[in-house]
Amino acid sequence: MNKGAFHKLSYGVYVVSTWDQGRPTGCTANSAMQITSEPATIAVSINHNNYTNKCIQDTGKFAISILSEQSDPSIIGTFGFQSGENVNKFDSVAYELKGYMPIVKDACAYIVCDVIDKMETSTHTVFLGKVADADIFNQEDPMTYAYYHKVVKGKSPKNAPTYIAEEAPVQKEEKWVCGVCGYEYAGETPFEELPDTYVCPICKQPKSVFVKK
């Protein structure tokens, strides 16, 4: 079976957010889809290991911030490569309340849902939500999963439903790769000459976590 066929499906890049006892939290997701139009319902798939899963279960609500191609890619790292149980992710990301839910400002649209059903798989919960509020912030093109990988050159967190472990390709020249999120440095300045204050643009980890491939 060639799992690469799964990458031919259409995916977006989203921040799924909710509340943790009055504190906003959330995670990066790439599996969200409209199920019905009347009433409007949306389904999202969240890994059991994601703290956001528990918070959605407790709150009974979730919101989807739809990221655009112009959204700051560090948002993906902030919500995708650290746990909301230990980090207040929204402390470093601007947000506003829409439909009483935390929404990332640097997004092109949002959808707020009330959970009306769910399906459990061995690794993920698929939450079905009835849309309570939705709107468009701007006309920027939404970021696709393919754009994130090919242009932003980001990697999927291991909790993502589309994650596929890949063998490292044979490199013709040495590359510096973030050991946390897999971001490959491609700047004009040689990596060794970057200041010690340099951080990964995706997951915000320091220069020291980069490894030479």
10-150 and 171-213 have identical folds: no
User: What is the total residue count of the chain?
Assistant: 213
Dump pLDDT digits (tens) for 37-64: 999 999 999 999 999 999 999 999 999 9
Name the residue among 61, 59, 71, 89 with its Cα closest to residue 12: 71
The predicted pLDDT at position 160 comes to 52
Percent of the chain residues past pLDDT 90, beyond the cut: 61
Asked whether 118 and 127 are in contact (CB, 8 A), the reply is yes
No. of helices (H) and no. of strands (E), the chain: 3, 11
pTM exceeds 0.85, yes or no: no
The mean pLDDT of 197-203, rounded to a whole number, is 90
The predicted pLDDT at position 130 comes to 97
CATH architecture of 10-150: Roll (2.30)
State yes or no: pLDDT of 181 exceeds 90. no
Asked whether 52 and 20 are in contact (CB, 8 A), the reply is no
Q: Where are the domains of the chain?
A: 10-150, 171-213
The predicted pLDDT at position 173 comes to 67
Dump pLDDT digits (tens) for 69-112: 999 988 988 998 888 888 899 999 999 999 999 999 999 999 99
Q: Which helix (H) or strand (E) holds 20?
A: strand 14-20
CATH number of 171-213: 2.20.28.10
Structure tokens at 191: 């990596």
Give 170's pLDDT tier (boundaries 50, 70, 90): very low
